[in-house]
A and B are shown apart, each in its own frame.
Chain A
């Protein structure tokens, strides 16, 4: 913790150093010190202005201390924390001596609330500097005056956008929005390191503005553009405001299906503040903050946050050799996607295919992916070109002797996999890792053809690779620690959330999805149409409807996987008729990629219609439905209980090493409802007892597919047992 009065005692600079961890968080300790420092500033007559800066590059204040929130037992306790924060920031806002926030690095949540309570904001214009209110992503709302100050600062529409999406805003955009007043360009090397000098420069510039504000040579008032003034004028009209509330509310309702309480609360709190004044606004903000913090949704989302942090670490340590050259076999959707997320992290990547046409398509996909970032201005065209120079497209094995890792993404057929493995092993160096991007073939089976099985590992990516955050890494009994370390390191470098699981048919993710999709087919056979199935599953919180999901995965792939897993696990993976899939494949209804599946897909048409060709097929496989287990809720529970039961079985068998990774894998890879926090969090909150009861009920109708696994039974029998403590 450093504080230093400036030389001439006119400005007071308070730099806070995080005492533990990587980032600054608003903890009780920090708040206390902050209050002390502010009191000192007000008491000392020599001080005319103050600058608030973090001496930690890369972090202004990254938000409130989550542990502090989680330690609270009641809503009242949290509300009290919120009110303390509000009071502290109100003092800054009303300070007779101007306070300037000098922002470098993440300025999120509570950090942003501190910044907007100051009189002026100067921010470093680099990629690390982001501003935002991510509270909603944790099921919360900005609880230290943010809901009240933000609309006044950036206007109602922009404030809603920030608070409801929780998106990060880069410094240059923040300047345009009026969220910060001045930008400071990052500096290059001088007589100190670029980082050290940039922070120092930021401080110098901020001091200048603080001095200017105190001398009244600088005005904190911003000149607003015509558009902004018009918007402000319109927003001042109650009628217009009501319309905005209504539109935003209906949009939120549509997107969250009412499963997430935080966005609706945010709207309500903002509304109260604008319509009934500050006091009412602050009061309801603090109360709502308290209420939200103890919801099960917030607990689930915070659990996911912790899980994500956990899965961004390499538990195997640093690999002996960093992967600098990567080779990807197969330039299909997956292969090209893997190449894209590698080249833009500076990894030299060879993209190999067997046919020129496939290679061209793959290279175009990488280009297109990067170019879309240029269009969004997150990349310059020069950077795109320079990134693309890391990509080498080719049809032969040239240069593989330099590869540190090979990831194969070829056709899902064990013979094809064996063939490429042998070809590759003939050309790669001894240290090179061979990773297979397969969604279901057991890695040990693939490794059986290898001369060096300790170097073989599974890296299961999710499509589309540049969007999906999860990477599932699969180790066999023979995979060496260093190979695992290397694969995790590559995944983390690619920006993935990484879970590491043991080998087995379908690993973890595919295996959990299997029984659920089988149940979807049975539901369809029972005469529920695809649209209804989608509606029921999204209403439960799945981001993609269950029937649509099959189309997205591809019916042929689903058939393949269902057959394989069916062989491995037998009756438990039954339910829906696999012949229904087979007939669909026969008819060419392969899903989205073929333009037809359960739905018809047309370029540019948003409201897709049900594929009428499916009527006949569904009719053919029609089975009678038992009304006892076919209410909407029962259908939801049939899908989810099978998922959760299988997930628990993976933990029981040691495929999963802990429930945390199980939750992360299910949410980030399969779209398990985030508001439930994953299958294990859901089992805790729903209750293992209740879950087992449901399973037993369906078991009575359908048989062993619903037999609860031992681990769930254990949990059901001792209520104190929880997956997450």
Chain B
């Protein structure tokens, strides 16, 4: 169950940071597909992970940027920590802009994270069946019960599966990504090349031991997972053979150039700078500034980063040139490339974003150089923390001051955050 994964992430965080349990004031978790039994998965996981039962916890949801929302809800200033797949070190931010609990003076120490269990999603009975079952509860006599049961027809047993589709438009995300790629004229080859890049870079980072945020997880009854297991560098030729997955038969988005859905959880320790220093921690990074944006869920579903990037830069008083590390959520290769083209287009900036000029496309040599969701996988609610901590680690490893994290999310929403390396 999802709370097991989340529990492991939280335990990993406790182990790595040695933060005393009773110091944690609050826990916020992000998740997308909720297990009905643990709808406040933050609380269940925290209790199971041995946090104090005096530490309140709540769960937030904002599609693929749920754990970003968890961080910014808790944030203000922070210091951080870890994940099942992803452990996360200390982050911190004196940012007065944050409306979160730390900035508001509600808390000093917050744990934020996210979890998603894509391998076991709730599948429901059909509405007719649910209705019959609920009525059955109220039926008093055997006769009433039998008459209700006799009304059940074979179609009642058709289950309702959750789909990665927009509620407002009924369009699946892959389909929208294919249209987006077409709108920006992104070719199949470009997408395959980008996906291959992501897998190759992730493989390299993994081999070099750079993905140190991963916490091993023992799957009950099975082996322990010690590393990201979806990294599969292939060849353009192999990838070119795949059939389009959404727009058939001529689309460009395939299984190979899309992020894959996977299980995962993340956790991160966020503190105010004073608190961190007082407790003797050396923070990893500041969470400087963040923005949320939203736009048309039909035709601009996945353009969140394009809208969020210039906004967060402006807010932080920075320019694209100040950024040393870009860490973008890779939902689809086509989506990333479309965003890059949109950010590089004056026409788009003027006609759709109400800006005078383009913000510019991030240089690829600074962009997702340790792989991304295409190669590492995308557990919806957990991805945000991974992006932030990877940005912090890359700043430290590659040298640099500012990192920019951006992500798109279902509902046509988006997010961006500026991460600053803590002075070494």
A interface with B by C-beta (< 8 Å) = 182, 185, 187-194, 197, 201, 205, 208-209, 380, 382
Contact = CB atoms under 8 A, between A and B. Distances in A.
Interface stretch (B32-40, B166-174, B315-323): B166-174
Contacts of B169: 380, 382
6 contacts: A188-B179, A189-B300, A190-B180, A190-B338, A191-B185, A382-B170
A197 B296 CA distance: 18
Contact of A208 (B175, B247, B250, B296): B250
Nearest to A194: B299
A187 B179 contact: yes
Given A182-B250, A201-B182, A187 B170 contact: no
Given A190-B183, A201-B182, A185 B299 contact: no
Given A194-B299, A380-B170, A382-B167, A187 B183 contact: yes
Contact of B168 (A191, A193, A382): A382
A201 B342 CA distance: 18
A580 B108 CA distance: 87
A214 to B, nearest CB: 16
A205 B250 contact: yes
Nearest to A198: B183
Contact of A189 (B167, B170, B250, B299): B299
A192 B184 CA distance: 8
A215 B169 CA distance: 37
A197 B179 CA distance: 11
Given A197-B183, A205-B250, A382-B169, A188 B300 contact: yes
A188 B171 CA distance: 13
Given A380-B170, A382-B168, A188 B180 contact: yes
B247 A188 contact: no
Given A182-B250, A382-B167, A382-B169, A189 B182 contact: no
Contact of A185 (B179, B300, B342, B348): B179
A189 B183 contact: yes
B347 interface: yes
Identify the 7 closest CB pairs spanning chains A and B, nearest first: A188-B299, A190-B183, A187-B183, A190-B184, A382-B168, A201-B182, A188-B183
A188 B183 CA distance: 6
Contacts of A380: 169-170
Nearest to B175: A185
Interface of B: 167-170, 175, 179-180, 182-185, 247, 250, 296, 298-300, 338, 341-342, 345, 347-348, 351-352
Given A182-B250, A208-B250, A380-B170, A189 B351 contact: yes
B39 to A, nearest CB: 24
A192 B348 CA distance: 8
A201 B351 CA distance: 20
Contacts of B168: 382
B350 to A, nearest CB: 12
Nearest to B186: A190
B319 to A, nearest CB: 23
Nearest to B301: A188
A189 B341 contact: no
A188 B298 CA distance: 8
A93 to B, nearest CB: 24
A378 to B, nearest CB: 14
A193 B299 CA distance: 12
Nearest to A205: B250
A191 B170 contact: no
B359 to A, nearest CB: 15
Contacts of A182: 250
A191 B181 CA distance: 11
Contacts of A205: 250
A82 B91 CA distance: 78
Contact of A191 (B175, B184, B298, B300): B184
Contacts of A189: 183, 299-300, 348, 351-352
A715 B309 CA distance: 75
A187 B247 CA distance: 12
A201 B299 CA distance: 15
B307 to A, nearest CB: 12
A191 B349 CA distance: 10
Contacts of B300: 188-189
B386 to A, nearest CB: 29
Given A188-B296, A189-B183, A190-B348, 4 more contacts: A187-B182, A189-B300, A189-B348, A197-B182
A649 B275 CA distance: 92
Contacts of B298: 188
A208 B182 CA distance: 14
Contacts of B183: 187-190, 194, 197, 201
Contacts of B341: 190-191
A191 B345 contact: yes
Contacts of B347: 191-192
Nearest to B352: A189
A191 to B, nearest CB: 5
B250 A190 contact: no
Nearest to B250: A205
A381 to B, nearest CB: 9
Nearest to B168: A382
A202 B184 CA distance: 14
A123 to B, nearest CB: 13
Nearest to A189: B352
Contacts of A190: 180, 182-185, 338, 341-342, 348
Contacts of B170: 380, 382
A382 B169 CA distance: 7
A192 B169 CA distance: 23
Contacts of B179: 185, 187-188
A192 B338 CA distance: 13
B338 to A, nearest CB: 7
Nearest to B347: A191
Contacts of B184: 190-191
Contacts of B299: 187-189, 194
Nearest to A208: B250
